[in-house]
Amino acid sequence: MLNKKREHPKEKTSLHPRNRHRERYDFKLLTATCPKLSQFVKLNNYNDESIDFFNPEAVKTLNKALLKHYYDIDNWDIPKNYLCPPIPGRADYIHNIADLLASNSSESHGGKIPTGSKIKCLDIGTGANCVYPIIGNKEYGWSFTGADIDPIAIESANKIVAMNPFLKGKVELRLQHNPQDIFQGIIQKNELFDLTICNPPFHSSLADAQSGTVRKLTNLKGKRIIKPILNFGGQNNELWCKGGEEKFVGDMIYQSKQYASSCLWFSTLVSKQSNLKSAYRTLEGMKVEEIKTIPMSQGNKTSRIVAWTFLTQEEQKKWIDTRWNRA
């Protein structure tokens, strides 16, 4: 006897109101857009259409379908074992950070989100998938610079840009040659960015990353998993670094001081609630002018964006008047 079909909410109300992925995946639409996805769609134990999230190829093909259906990306792929990010969560970051920019424009733009290529965003650790630039450009027309320490990731992201014509001239990829540097070697002399975004390495070691993957898969499968199958992929630098998220975010905040006048808003995801205290302490030590913490959640996962600026209110207003108001 088939298990009784579960009742699901029609909307994922924890996602941002403008997020295109608030409704449950419509596999009929997605398979029509990407026929290859159909081979992975099956009825699960609850008689719902789904895919096997243990299958790396199924997860990647779902991403291809989502990016094609919602963001007009005809050609997208990543090298084997590279991070295959959840699209709804990436979109949430972009929409929430857009609201932050809108809060800056209340006087001169009536609180509207600034759009178009004049808005320049730096994506730290853009990865092989190039997803943040794709969503940010498609939703708001922003131009992006993506930075990464991995030459293969940069090559992959460049290929995605080259194979999707509307991204050409709007997304530039730069290789960070020194893994210890975050902004130096990437932000060029006299270059200005309206915001920076980052999804920092979460774990502090490979063992920690594997343990985290086991927990994630156990939650997905509903039973204990022992082997850390990396169904979402991820190279070492994508998943972990010495000191983990806490140290990476601290280093980013510390190094951002050198570029205080080069960017309106710096920002990063902070996944662990326990890391907020040290982040705030470092921000206070750097004497930033303003800090914003933006909560986010997707399913059972909670996170937040921490954003900071070194510019005073008057300097922020001048920034907007000289950059955003130009034709």
- pLDDT tens-place string over residues 279-313: 999 999 999 999 999 999 887 788 999 999 999 99
Q: Give pLDDT tens digits for 85-104.
A: 999 999 999 999 999 999 98
pLDDT confidence bin for 327, thresholds 50/70/90:
very low
Per-residue model confidence (pLDDT) at position 201: 85
In Å, how far are 29, 63, 77, 110, 126 from 134, measured between CA atoms? 21, 12, 13, 27, 11
Measured CA to CA, the distance from residue 292 to residue 288 in angstroms comes to 11
The beta strands (E) that lie in the chain are given as: 42-43, 49-50, 120-124, 143-148, 171-175, 193-198, 263-270, 290-298, 301-309
Rounded CA gap, 318 and 247, in Å? 33
Tokens of 155: 């090559």
pLDDT digits 0-9 by tens, 128-173: 999 999 999 999 999 999 999 999 999 999 999 999 999 999 999 9
Query: Does residue 203 register a pLDDT over 50?
Result: no
Q: Which CATH superfamily is domain 80-323 in?
A: Vaccinia Virus protein VP39 (3.40.50.150)
Instruction: Name residue 56's amino acid.
Output: P
Dmax over CA atoms of the chain, in Å, equals 68
135's enclosing H/E stretch is helix 131-140
The domain limits of the chain are 80-323
Rounded Cα distance, 47 and 5, in Å:
6
Q: Please say if the pLDDT value at position 46 is more than 50.
A: yes
Tokens of 113: 């989100």
pLDDT at position 128 is: 96
pLDDT digits (tens, 9 = 90+) for 219-277: 555 555 555 555 455 445 555 457 689 999 999 999 999 999 999 999 999 999 999 99
Would the pLDDT of 199 be above 80? yes
pLDDT in the model for residue 284: 97
Mean pLDDT of the chain: 87
SS (H, E, C) 239-284: HECCCHHHHHHHHHHHHHHHHCCCEEEEEEEECCHHHHHHHHHHHH
89: three-class secondary structure by DSSP: helix
Distance, in Å, from the CA atom of 253 to the CA atom of 207, rounded to the nearest integer, reads 26
The 10s digit of each residue's pLDDT in 51-81 is 998 899 999 999 999 999 999 999 999 999 8
Tokens of 5: 């079909």
